[in-house]
Structure 1
Amino acid sequence: MAISSTERRSKNVQVFVEKDAVETSFAKWAQPGHFSRTLAKGPKTTTWIWNLHADAHDFDSQTNSLEEVSRKIFSAHFGQLAVIFLWISGMHFHGAYFSNYSAWLTDPISIKQSSQVVWPIVGQEILNADVGGNFQGVQTTSGWFQMWRAEGITSEVELYWTAIGGLIMSAIMLFAGWFHYHKAAPKLEWFQNAESMMNHHLAGLLGLGCLSWSGHQIHIALPINKLLDAGVSPQEIPLPHEFLINRDLMAQLYPSFSKGLAPFFGGNWGEYSDFLTFKGGLNPVTGGLWLSDIAHHHLALSVLFIVAGHMYRTNWGIGHNMKEILEAHKGPFTGEGHKGLYEILTTSWHAQLAINLAMMGSLSIIVAHHMYAMPPYPYIATDYATQLSLFTHHMWIGGFCVVGGAAHGAIFMVRDYTPANNYNNLLDRVLRHRDAIISHLNWVCIFLGCHAFGFYIHNDTMRALGRPQDMFSDKAIQLQPIFAQWIQNIHLLAPGTTAPNALATTSYAFGGDVVEVGGKIAMMPIKLGTADFMVHHIHAFTIHVTVLILLKGVLYARSSKLIPDKANLGFRFPCDGPGRGGTCQSSSWDHVFLGLFWMYNSISVVIFHFSWKMQSDVWGTITQDGSISHITGGNFAQSSITINGWLRDFLWSQASQVIQSYGSASSAYGLIFLGAHFIWAFSLMFLFSGRGYWQELIESIVWAHNKLNFAPTIQPRALSITQGRAVGLAHYLLGGIGTTWSFFLARAISIT
């Protein structure tokens, strides 16, 4: 029988979706715990509500089907995107209806940004500060105004339409989440098609994403910002679409637009250098990166990513194959190398998530540092409160993501790792010499801790004894960070060779001029000395201890000398029965629990260091004759070299604004400062005893109720050890972050 060409084509078509996979029904919404046979029976004791929260999103415990788990995660991602678009819409709506954005645009240096007005219910209107531009509201420090300015938004009407666009996108995402779970659910092989996914994410998400952004910047943001920088009133600037369709209008600002695409196809790309620049440094008018540099950067990235998105082999017989790459990746000392890793990454979403969280966390921390070293948006560098908020925000997110990476790495080891499939590959070899890794890391932590704190204790002692000449300081025994200074100098000089036509260095943090906007310092060289050397060793210590705890939790997730059968006990277990000593608080969950405290320590030291260093050595004012006055007068170098200095000249000195905020527009921060301290202290009750002394309390309350025949249907039960630790951890972090947030903002708003 002859096969027609149509039939031959249809045999090559792979169907990657299952139609009408799950019936749409709201019946399950009315049954809490429907995903578990035990929980669906309803609550008998108060433990039920804990298990409900613990297991609601633990899809692994609800089904053994990897396909079903994959579909639930995929669908949940659309739900997450819907929430994000709704949030973005809300931000723009606030900017459109409750903000002084138009006034801020006319004078971004002296007018503060506000996009929230508090209703006068019982006196809360005190929070509406006079932020300038005939506006009273809560001063915001999110950086949205600067971002809108960079995007080319010049009126509240444009913000309003963007908010509507966000709502529409949110609705589309909700629909997509429903559609791809109920109507056209992808099959498992679609989720496991790594090459297609890489191509689409690289070329589509990143490549076309960068191209779209550079297109928007070139055609809309650049001309509008050029006019704003020149002092043109926002009301007089043409509407965005006019720049898009009127080439003559663009040619007045950027002459190369009159030549159209001829230079592009002719290879004379240099013609476009009036809007695709390589200047380096910061725009002296706004204190932000040159938008033409940013447009050039994203255009270059889009080309790279679109090319990269054609790298992996799919339906055509060309390109890389992920499995082949991984299995070829072996050296003389690495055994089977990455053999088996492809199977791990296509069958364990915990392994995927662990890597992605670690990478995204690291990226967030890198973003935090770039936001001040290379401020990307107009007038953001001189908005000190926003700079401090953005640094703190990205550092916290980075810390939580990195710990999340370790958590899911450990869950992968417990639930998804198969030793037989990973014989003598890199992962197996790491596991086999884990004792050496952890003991070395432990030694490093002890060394760093003793020396880093030893420096400070020495200095405190010498200062107390009145012997400043024997202290570690820039004026006595110097501990200069020579390697960091060398790297700074390399980065200062490198553009002269690598980018000879650039106007300035990559970042003024390395050296160079002082960039000021309206008399306020946007950025200037950040000199490093003994004080920085000392606190950097505290950073090294806290980070290494965090890594020690988290890595130990992953490497010993399946077994340890005390508990060789740990894999059978699961990711989180309080102890293995009363008759087996040494098994308490040793699960992978307990390592994540402890890791979060050290992450909190790490991030706190970093953000305190940043806040004080910038106020002392960078932020401030500059006069016409060039004399600089910093906010704390350069006291970091001499004060931060003792523990007493940190307590007195940073924490106590700078807490005056939050402590004395009552009766002012910052009074909410005073209340948050107080309340967050209480939440933090409340956590200690759970962390010291494990359950917060509640076992006896609950027992006595239950006894009293039973005595009066007044017992509840749902029997109260004291917290388990794990639950007590979870409550303690949550309140410790919430209280700590709330305290830091209010302390920073009350201070930063007063100095901005």
Structure 2
Amino acid sequence: MTNIFRYINTTLWSKAGHFNKALSKGAKTTTWIWNLHDYAHDFDIQQRSTGLIARKVFSSNLAHLSLVFFWIRGMHLHGAYLSNYDIWLKDPKSITPSSHLAYSLIGQDILNSYTSEYFSGITITSGFFQLYRSEGIITQSQLKYACATSLIATLICLSGSYLHMQLMSKFTSFYKKFQSLSQDHLIIIFGSSSTSLSAHQIHKMLPANPLLDSGISNPSILQVISNSLSENLALFSTNLSSTGKLLNPSTRSVFLSQVAAHHKTTGVVFITLGLIRFLTMYNSQFSILTSYIDYHIVLSINLALIASLSIIVADHLTRTPIYPHNSTSYPTILCLFIHHAWLSGFLIIGSGAHASIFNLRASPTSEIRHRDPIYSHLIWVCIAIGLHSFSLYCHNDTLEALGRPEDIFHDNSIQLKAIFAKQSFLRAELQPDIEMLDKKIIRITQELGTADFIVHHIHAFSIHVTLLIHSKGVLYARNSRFVSDKLELGFTYPCDGPGRGGTCQISPWDHLFSAVFWMYNCLNVVTFHYFWKMQSDVWGFVSIQKHISHYSQGDFSVNSITINGWLRNLLWSEASQVIQSYALSSICPYGSLFLIAHFIWAFSLMFLFSGRAYWQELIESILWSHHKLKIIPHIQPRALSISQGRAVGFIHYTLGGIGSTWAFIISRLLVLS
């Protein structure tokens, strides 16, 4: 009882160093709070021992993996106990998926909407049900088994993390070898996981899905038949060559046999690469190449690769649907696209951050060669693309305001054709001009016009500017002609004005700060372009008379050629759903999220624009209230530095901006669908 009381006694909490003795020393100011967040993850500063750093990295990897398994557990838990998955399996074309239920405590059950027979809940757009079916899960019991398995894996990873961090501190020789062994081990483990998933898909997924396509929806019958047919795998070899079509006519998704073959091939390739890497590791020439490998550069490369794969997945989810019946759920496709796009953006930012840290702390060269030609060429590319792309919009807006529509760049006046981008939209001969399921359009052949040409150049401009800022932070992290001793200053350092050296916005951290905003601008334009283009030219219905009706009736090519058109016909005209969301229980949560996210976004501007003295006085009031409750150490307020204010500002800015954008577009699409 004494130990329990010790951890709930607020008097002890208020003493600096109660949770970490190292933090009991030093200035008793609010800087202590920033150091608590900063130094906890900087292993290089905490210890210089290679074995200890490797042990911490290995332990943190297992801890992060436990979070992934715990998230998977929650995903299957909601599907097992709170969803209408069994009803959705019977009729996935018309049943709305739901795996969240708001209980009536203070009247919040109004958020529930009628989704299917005898079931009310909150509509989900995460694609979990389509993922369940592609896994071969056909009963609620199987969802419970998956949930239990994920929970066991979570406990194993947490136990392994604690074991390697706390109980195996004496075995330093193993961790010294870990840095060189981890790469081929991870490659082989990844390949083995992909092969195991392929085996599961062959034995569980392939027998069940053809039965569901044929109309068999009774869970007990499905389980018996699929188990008896899993031994005869020749029945499920349906593929592109046998049907002459890329997509399954029943689900309008890629044939799951091709998905299984993809995972099997990927597993074989990675296992082979891992074995080759392991066998050639002791070669003297190869060891020279790996002698400079640092955790930061390895993490930077991995983050960049995963970011690239994430944006590729976002594109393929639209062009080549993978999961059964996912292509007809327009809100799900939209949310998955936005999720993977933003994920790739933040991973790229992390990649640049760790590349800068590697360049500062572990780079074998004192200066990166050819950085000046690379940077100067990027500057000229950004100037050229930005000048031409925005000049086209300014030209169109000006002439439209002057009443001269015949002189603007438009498909009906002065045409501009996208030559290179057109190649990626060419359809194979096996694909028809239009593909649909249950009268809903899945894909349709379209020709890129002037509006696409202009907005594609805006994409190119924002991407190149983000790359420009990002690469400058990496290439000039150690030194520059302006400040030659950046290496001594570190990753981030105080921002002094022109009268005190002029070090504002030249540290690697400040470059990341600027790159975050350009990444945000880039992905916001991509999101709005995707949302408007799809509902204008792709998403819609086909009537009995073979008449195609799109959601916004093809207004993208007409109105998106001017900046005023983007503001008038997209942001203003299509905001009616989220503004009037209180009248509809199905989307009223998104209306609340829209307002809250706007508040968070506006809150960030006070940190980005306001003076630091304002926040010092505010922090004094906050500290006083916490001191009265004795839940924090007795520390004195210190004004936020410029870097600290920027950190708080850009976090709230991106969080609020993403929340506002997502609530805006998902509200409209849920109503239209």
- Normalising by structure 2, we get a TM-score of 0.91
Which one of the candidate residues 595, 598, 605 is aligned to 1:684? 605
* Aligned mate of 1:513, from 415, 433, 453: 433
The AA in structure 2 aligned to 1:475 is N
2:47 to 63, 85, 91: 63
For 1:189, which of 176, 188, 195 is the aligned residue?
A: 176
Q: Does 1:324 align with 2:289?
A: no
Matched, 1:449 2:386: yes
Between 535-544 and 174-183, report the one with greater CA deviation.
Answer: 174-183
CA contact (8 A) 1:472 1:530 kept: yes
With over 3 angstroms needed to count, the CA separation of the structure-2 counterparts of 1:144 and 1:692, relative to structure 1, is farther
- Alignment match, 2:421: 484
Which of 303, 306, 318 is matched with 2:268 structurally? 303
Q: Determine the C-alpha separation between the residues in 2 that align with 1:120 and 1:134.
A: 17
Query: What's 2:569 paired with?
Result: 649
Q: Which residue of the other structure, out of 659, 662, 667, is the alignment partner of 2:588?
A: 667
| Counterpart in the other structure of 1:22 | none
State the match for 2:662 in structure 1: 741
Pair 1:384-2:321 in alignment: no
* Matching residue of 2:310: 364
Task: Could you tell me which runs of 5 or more consecutive residues in structure 1 were left unpaired when the two chains were aligned.
Answer: 1-25, 258-271, 327-339, 421-427, 494-503, 506-511, 706-711
- Whether the aligned pair in 2 keeps the contact of 1:223 and 1:243 (CA below 8 Å) is yes
Deviations 1:161-201 (A, max 9, x none): 2111111111111111122223345634322325x732x33
Secondary structure in 1 aligned to 2:428?
helix
Residues 98 and 116, structure 1, Cα contact 8 Å, conserved in 2:
yes
Q: Give how far 1:396 is off.
A: 0.3
Corresponding position of 2:186: 201
1:212-254 Cα offsets, whole Å, 9 max, x none, are 22222222111111010001123253427x745x45x754xx5
Instruction: Specify whether residues 107 and 699 from structure 1 end up closer, same or farther in structure 2 by C-alpha distance, changes over 3 A only.
Output: closer
Whether 1:89 aligns to 2:73 is: yes
Question: 1 CA distance for matches of 2:414 and 2:498?
Answer: 56
Match of residue 543, structure 2, among 623, 628, 641: 623
SS of 2:442's partner is strand
Whole-angstrom CA distance in 1 between matches of 2:559 and 2:413: 14
With over 3 angstroms needed to count, the CA separation of the structure-2 counterparts of 1:294 and 1:692, relative to structure 1, is farther
- Does 668-677 or 31-40 show the bigger shift? 31-40
CA 1:581–1:313 in 2, change beyond 3 Å: closer, same or farther? Answer: closer
Alpha-carbon spacing, 1:458–1:387, altered in 2? closer, same or farther (3 Å): same
How far has the Cα of 1:717 moved from its partner? 1.6
Say whether the 8 Å CA contact 1:276–1:296 is kept in structure 2: no
State how far apart, in whole Å, the 1-side matches of 2:187 and 2:141 are: 34
Higher RCO (CA 8 Å, separation ≥ 6 residues): 2
In the alignment, is the contact (CA less than 8 A) between 1:89 and 1:162 conserved in 2? Answer: yes
Tell me if 1:461 matches 2:392.
Answer: no
The question of whether the paired residues in 2 share the 8 Å contact of 1:519 and 1:621 is answered with yes
Please say which structure displays the higher CA radius of gyration.
Answer: 1
Moved more, 619-628 or 411-420: 411-420
Displacement of 1:695: 4.0
- Matched-pair contact (CA < 8 Å) for 2:616–2:637: no
Structure 1: distance between partners of 2:256 and 2:472? 45
Instruction: Rate the CA distance shift 1:214–1:639 in 2: closer, same or farther, 3 A.
Output: same
Q: Output aligned runs, 1:279-428, within 5 Å.
A: 281-314=246-279, 319=280, 324=285, 341-345=289-293, 348-419=294-365, 428=367
Letter in 2 for 1:618: V
The answer to whether the Cα contact below 8 Å between 2:594 and 2:664 also exists between their aligned partners in 1 is: yes
Aligned AA (2:349) = V
User: Partners of 1:525 and 1:210 in 2: how far apart?
Assistant: 34
Shift of 1:274: 4.8
Query: 1:559: which partner in 2?
Result: 479
**Do the aligned partners of residues 101 and 62 (structure 1) sit closer, same or farther apart at CA in structure 2, a change above 3 Å counting?**
same
Mapped to 2, the partners of 1:273 and 1:484 lie a distance apart of 35
* Cα 1:47–1:213 shift into 2, 3 Å: same
Q: Secondary structure at the match of 1:516?
A: strand
**Aligned-partner residue type, residue 115 of structure 1:** S
The Cα shift of 1:66 comes to 2.1
Structure-1 residue corresponding to 2:3: none
Percent sequence identity over matched residues? Answer: 50
In 2: Cα distance, 1:629 partner to 1:656 partner: 21
Structure 1 Cα separation of the partners of residues 196 and 210 of structure 2: 20
The within-5 A match list for 1:553-592 is 553-575=473-495, 580-592=500-512
Change (3 A) 1:290 1:470: same
Q: Is 2:670 aligned against 1:724?
A: no
Aligned to 1:169: 153
3-state secondary structure, aligned to 2:425: helix
Give the Cα–Cα distance (whole angstroms) in 2 for the partners of residues 59 and 231 of structure 1: 57
Task: Sort the Cα spacing of 1:598 and 1:690 in 2 relative to 1 into closer, same or farther, 3 A.
Answer: farther
Q: Which amino acid in structure 1 is aligned with residue 411 of structure 2?
A: D
How far does the alpha carbon of each residue in 1:121-162 deviate from its partner, in whole angstroms, 9 at most, with x for none?
222111101112321111111100001111221121211121
Q: d(CA) in 1 for partners of 2:283 and 2:503?
A: 40
Contact in 2 for aligned 1:685/1:693 (Cα 8 Å): no
Change (3 A) 1:56 1:312: closer
Q: Which residue identity lines up with residue 204 of structure 1 in the other structure?
A: I
Query: Could you list the per-position Cα deviations for residues 563-590 of structure 1 after superposition, in whole angstroms to 9, with x for gaps in the alignment?
Result: 1001101100123699632112211100
| 1:672 shift after superposition | 1.2
- Aligned in 2, Cα 1:136/1:322: closer, same or farther, shift over 3 Å? farther
Q: RMSD between aligned alpha carbons? A: 2.9
**Structure 2 SS opposite 1:138:** strand
Cα shift at 1:78 = 0.9
Aligned residues of 2:211 and 2:222 also touching (Cα < 8 A): no
Change over 3 Å in CA distance of 1:322–1:178 after alignment to 2: farther
Partner of 2:408: 471
Per the alignment, residue 544 of structure 1 pairs with 464
Give the Å deviation of 1:627: 1.6
Q: Secondary structure at the match of 1:309?
A: helix
Alignment partner of 1:524 is 2:510: no
**Cα distance per residue 1:706-734 (max 9 Å; x no partner):** xxxxxx94212221111111111111011
Q: Per residue, is there more helix in 1 or in 2? A: 2
The amino acid of 1:309's aligned partner reads: G
Change (3 A) 1:690 1:84: farther
Q: Distance in 1 between matches of 2:278 and 2:96?
A: 53
Question: Which residue in the other structure is 1:335 paired with?
Answer: none
1:180 to 151, 164, 177: 164
Superposed counterparts of 1:119-158, under 5 Å: 119-158=103-142
Residue 91 of structure 1: CA displacement? Answer: 1.2
Q: Secondary structure at the match of 1:718?
A: coil
